[in-house]
Chains A and B, each alone.
Chain A
Amino acid sequence: MTDITTDRTGSAEALVIEGLRKSFGAHQVLGGIDLSVAQHEVICLIGASGSGKSTLLRCVNLLERIDAGSIWLGGQLITARGVDENLVRRHVGIVFQSFNLFPHMTVERNVTLAPMKVLGLSRVAATERAAELLGRFGLEEKRADYPDRLSGGQQQRVAIVRALAMRPRLMLLDEVTSALDPELVADVLDVIRELAEGGMTMLIATHEMGFAREVASRVCFLADGQIVEQAPPARLFSEPSDERTRRFLRRITDAGRL
Chain B
Amino acid sequence: MQDLPEPGPPELALPNLAARRSRLLGDSSRRGIVLSSTSTVVVLAALVAIFALAPGSAVVRHTFLNPTDMWRSFLGNPRAGYYSVGEAIWLNIRMFLAAEALILILGLVVAVIRLSTGPVLVPLRILATVYVDVARGVPLVLFIFMIGFGAPALRLTVVSDQSAAVYGVAALVLSYSAYVSEVYRAGISAVHRSQVAAARSLGLSQWAALRHVILPQAIRNVIPPLLNDFISLQKDTALVGLLGAIEANKAAEIYGETVFNYSSYVVAAILFLVLTIPLARFTDHLIRRDQARRLAGAGQ
Contact = CB atoms under 8 A, between A and B. Distances in A.
Nearest to A119: B203
Contact of A113 (B202, B205, B217, B300): B202
Contacts of B201: 61, 63, 89, 93-94, 163
B38 to A, nearest CB: 43
B194 A102 contact: no
B9 to A, nearest CB: 41
Nearest to B216: A104
A177 B133 CA distance: 47
Contacts of A58: 197
B194 A86 contact: no
B203 A87 contact: yes
B213 interface: yes
Interface in B249-288: none
B198 interface: yes
Interface SS, B side:
helix
Nearest to B194: A100
Contacts of A94: 201
A86 B212 contact: no
A27 interface: no
Nearest to B217: A104
Interface string A224-244: 000000000000000000000
Contact of A90 (B203, B296, B300): B203
A86 B204 contact: yes
A96 B197 contact: yes
B200 interface: yes
A118 to B, nearest CB: 4
Nearest to A64: B197
A110 to B, nearest CB: 9
A230 B300 CA distance: 39
A229 B104 CA distance: 57
A98 interface: yes
A86 B203 contact: yes
B203 A113 contact: no
A82 interface: no
Interface residues on chain B, size class: 20 to 34
A114 interface: yes
A63 B197 CA distance: 7
A114 B220 contact: no
A166 interface: yes
B118 to A, nearest CB: 14
B208 interface: yes
A59 to B, nearest CB: 12
A117 B198 contact: no
A30 B45 CA distance: 74
B195 interface: yes
A162 interface: yes
Nearest to B211: A117
A89 B203 contact: yes
A17 to B, nearest CB: 18
B137 interface: no
A86 B216 CA distance: 22
Interface string A154-194: 00000000110010000000000000000000000000000
Nearest to A92: B201
B297 interface: yes
Interface in B182-207: 194-195, 197-205
B200 A148 contact: no
Given A104-B216, A104-B217, A117-B212, A166 B198 contact: no
A100 B202 contact: no
Contacts of B204: 86, 113-114, 117-118
B200 A63 contact: yes
A100 B204 CA distance: 15
Most buried by A among B198, B205, B300: B198
Contact of B202 (A103, A104, A114, A148): A114
Given A96-B198, A118-B208, 16 more contacts: A61-B201, A63-B197, A63-B201, A86-B200, A89-B200, A96-B197, A100-B197, A102-B195, A102-B217, A103-B217, A114-B202, A114-B203, A114-B204, A117-B208, A163-B201, A163-B202
Interface of A: 58, 61, 63, 85-87, 89-90, 93-94, 96, 98, 100-104, 113-114, 117-118, 148, 162-163, 166
19 contacts: A58-B197, A63-B200, A86-B200, A86-B204, A89-B202, A89-B203, A93-B201, A101-B198, A102-B195, A102-B198, A103-B217, A104-B217, A104-B220, A113-B202, A113-B212, A114-B202, A118-B202, A148-B296, A148-B297
Closest CB pairs A-B (n = 8):
A100-B198, A114-B202, A118-B203, A89-B203, A90-B203, A94-B201, A100-B194, A86-B203
